[in-house]
Amino acid sequence: MISELMINAFLVSIMLAIGIALLKSRSVIYTVLLTSAYSLVAALMFITLDAVDVAFTEASVGAGISTVLFLAAIAFLPKKEEETITNQAFPAVICLVLGSILIWCSYDLPEIGLATSPIHQHIVPEYIIGSRDDIGIPNIVTSVLASYRGYDTFGETIVVFTAGIAVLAILKNNNKSLKKIKSQKKVVKNG
Amino acid sequence: MDKNPILRIATKILFAPIILFGLYVQFHGDFGPGGGFQAGVIVASAFILYAIVFGLEKGKELFPLNINLFLLALGGILYGGVGIVSMLLGDEFLSYNVLGSSKQAGQHIGILLVEFGVGLTVSNVMIALFYAFVDFKSSNGETK
């Protein structure tokens, strides 16, 4: 119990440090790398909560591929973020109030992993028994994801597909229109 | 970046194990942590690593854009196809029980195919996005 507390305190203090460093950093590449590090620590946090599948996704998607895609995309951005000094008292008050409300509410949450908490009473026993008897797969997360919630995963796949197609369409069209503008300019210059 | 021997040789050594690990995560998702989303990202990272180190041209030689776009669509079609096949066999959309000889065998086949569809779509979307971003940059650079 006390070791778990120490691990959590360690991870939370790293996350806090990364958050403060993110606030301070004005260079875009540092921001991307710090976000990646934050995802990695979040993945460790999910492991301490015994959510290995989520941790795996966070590590591979959050810390891995999204960093690469961000790095590929920041080539179009200015290297430094502009300094914007405005009055930050109001946002700070909102953050503090919201944070303290959330911490206050967290005292009402059931203990993590408690078998009698409401979320483990409703449909979860059916999934746990069904995953063994009806589906025959040891990993309950996979049986929920692919079989019980097959529709949702289908939707997710289609969302990933649509998002990919949309970005491709925008970038391809932009390339073409850039060429068009270029050729038009040439025509204007030559004419 | 292809002048750097350490990067080049490390990529050549790592390329196959990354894909092997991706396939392990893909097909071992029933028994341990993993599944289509994670596996897709891992496989995509192998191809992206190759394209980063050896350049976009070599990356596109290894994994051409038309195959990429074809597989991108095939993943979603595979997922939906499993649902339609289960409908044709007389059950509801995406209910895998009828796909195999027994209920559990059907569920195994269905989950394996569906996860493979997810993996195909995710990995190819990631590769396609990376290609598109890098391509956009080079064509944008010409106009400047």
pLDDT tens digits along A108-131: 888 877 878 887 888 888 888 888
- Residue A148 CA to residue B95 CA, distance in Å, equals 9
Q: Which of B38, B121, B128 is opposite residue A56, by nearest beta carbon?
A: B38
CA distance B59 to chain A (A): 15
Average pLDDT over chain B, rounded to an integer:
86
Provide the strand spans (E) within chain B: none
Tell if the CB–CB gap between B111 and A172 is shorter than 8 Å: no
Tell me how many domains chain B contains: 1
Tell if the CB–CB gap between A154 and B108 is shorter than 8 Å: no
Please check whether residue B22 touches A, CB under 8 A.
no
CA distance A125 to chain B (A): 19
Please check whether residue A56 touches B, CB under 8 A.
yes
Range of the domain at B125: 5-143
Tell me how many domains chain A contains: 1
Is there a domain that residue A133 lies in?
A: no
pLDDT of residue A138: 84
**Residue B116 bridge partners (DSSP):** none
Cα nearest neighbour of B74 on chain A: A161
Give me the total of CB pairs closer than 8 Å, taking one residue from chain A and one from chain B: 146
Angle in degrees, CA B101, B103, B105, rounded to 5? 60
**Residue A180 pLDDT grade (very low, low, confident, very high; cuts 50, 70, 90):** low
pLDDT of residue A35: 93
Reply yes or no on whether the pLDDT at A34 is more than 90: yes
Is there a domain that residue A188 lies in?
A: no
Q: What is the pLDDT of residues B56-115, one digit of tens each?
A: 888 888 888 889 989 999 999 999 999 899 888 888 888 888 888 888 888 888 888 999
Annotate A32-61 with DSSP letters as a single string.
Answer: HHHHHHHHHHHHHHHHHTT-HHHHHHIIII
Q: Which of A64, A143, A164 is opposite residue B45, by nearest beta carbon?
A: A64
Least confident piece of the model among A89-103, A162-176, B69-83: A162-176
In contact, B1 and B52? CB cutoff 8 Å: yes
Tell if the CB–CB gap between B33 and A147 is shorter than 8 Å: no
Is there a domain that residue A63 lies in?
A: yes
Residues of chain B neighbouring A153 (CB-CB closer than 8 A): 79, 114, 118
- Residue B16 CA to residue B11 CA, distance in Å, equals 9
What is the percent of chain A where pLDDT is above 90? 33
CATH classification at residue A72: 1.20.120.1200
pLDDT of residue B35: 85
Q: Which of B52, B76, B133 is opposite residue A158, by nearest beta carbon?
A: B76
Cα nearest neighbour of A136 on chain B: B104
Is there a domain that residue A33 lies in?
A: yes
Range of the domain at A36: 1-81
What tokens does A97 get? Answer: 């109030």
pLDDT of residue B143: 41
Q: A123-141: b or e for each residue (b if 16 or more CB lie within 10 Å)?
A: eeeebeebbeebbbbebbb
ipTM over 0.90: no
CA distance A129 to chain B (A): 13
**A75 or A55, which is more confident:** A55
CA dihedral over A58, A63, A68, A74, signed as positive or negative: positive
pLDDT of residue A187: 67
pLDDT of residue B144: 36
**Residue A79: what are its φ and ψ, rounded to 5°?**
-70, -30
Reply yes or no on whether the pLDDT at A191 is more than 60: no
Q: Which of B93, B117, B134 is opposite residue A157, by nearest beta carbon?
A: B117
Q: What is the pLDDT of residues A36-55, one digit of tens each?
A: 999 999 999 999 888 888 99
pLDDT of residue B91: 82
Report which of B126, B124, B116 is spatially closest to residue B68, judged by C-alpha positions.
B124
Least confident piece of the model among A78-92, A143-157, A160-174: A78-92
Which of A76, A160, A183 has the highest number of chain B CBs within 10 A, making it the mutation to test binding with B? A160
Please check whether residue B102 touches A, CB under 8 A.
no
Residues 6+ apart with CB under 8 A from B17: none
**A2 or A40, which is more confident:** A40
pLDDT of residue B142: 47
In contact, A46 and A54? CB cutoff 8 Å: yes
Is there a domain that residue A95 lies in?
A: no
- Residue A150 CA to residue A152 CA, distance in Å, equals 5
Please check whether residue A140 touches B, CB under 8 A.
no
**A80 or B57, which is more confident:** B57
A positions 2-41 inside 8 Å of B (CB): none
